[in-house]
Amino acid sequence: MERFRYGKIFLLGFGFFGISVLWALYNAYVPIFLKDFALSYLVIGFIMTIDNIFAIVMLPYIGALSDQTRTRIGRRMPYILTGAPMGALFFALIPVARNLHSLLFMMTTIIIMNFAMALFRSPVIALMPDITPSRYRSQANGIINFMGGLGALLVYFIGKPLYDRNYALPFYLGALIMFLSSLLVVIFIKEPEVYRRKEPNTRRERLIRRSFGELLENLKDVFVSKEKSLLFMLLSILFWFIAFNAIETFFTSYAKFEIGIKESTGALVLGFFSLAFMIFSIPAGFMGSKIGRRRTMTLGLITIIVIVILTLFFGMRVSAISEGSELELARSRFVKTLFLLFSIGGMGWAMVNVNSLPTIVDMTEDKKVGGYTGLYYFFSMAANIFAPPLAGLLIDIFGYNSLMVLSATFFFLSTVTLQFVRKGDVK
311, pLDDT greater than 60? yes
The domain spanning residue 165 has which CATH number? 1.20.1250.20
Judge whether 195 lies within some domain.
no
Q: CB neighbours of 344 closer than 8 A, spacing ≥ 6?
A: 276, 303, 307
Q: 198-203 long-range CB contacts below 8 Å, 24 or more apart?
A: 198/70, 198/71, 198/72, 199/70, 202/70
Judge whether 196 lies within some domain.
no
Buried b vs exposed e over 264-279: b needs ≥16 C-beta within 10 Å?
A: bbbbbbbbbbbbbbbb
197, pLDDT greater than 80? no
pLDDT band at residue 84 using 50, 70 and 90 as cut-offs: very high
Q: Are 293 and 359 in contact (CB under 8 A)?
A: yes
Judge whether 39 lies within some domain.
yes
Which of the pair, 205 or 318, is modelled with greater confidence?
318
Domain span at 48? 6-190+220-418
Which of the pair, 35 or 427, is modelled with greater confidence?
35
201, pLDDT greater than 50? no
Which of the pair, 307 or 137, is modelled with greater confidence?
307
For 98, the enclosing helix (H) or strand (E) is helix 94-100
Judge whether 423 lies within some domain.
no
Q: What does the pLDDT read at residue 1?
A: 46
Judge whether 214 lies within some domain.
no
The percent of residues above 70 in pLDDT, for the chain, comes to 92
Judge whether 207 lies within some domain.
no
**What's the structural domain count of the chain?**
1
Q: Are 387 and 242 in contact (CB under 8 A)?
A: yes
The alpha-helical segments, DSSP class H, found in 36-93 are: 41-47, 50-68, 77-92
Judge whether 375 lies within some domain.
yes
Please give the average per-residue pLDDT across 152-180, as a whole number: 86
216, pLDDT greater than 90? no
Judge whether 31 lies within some domain.
yes
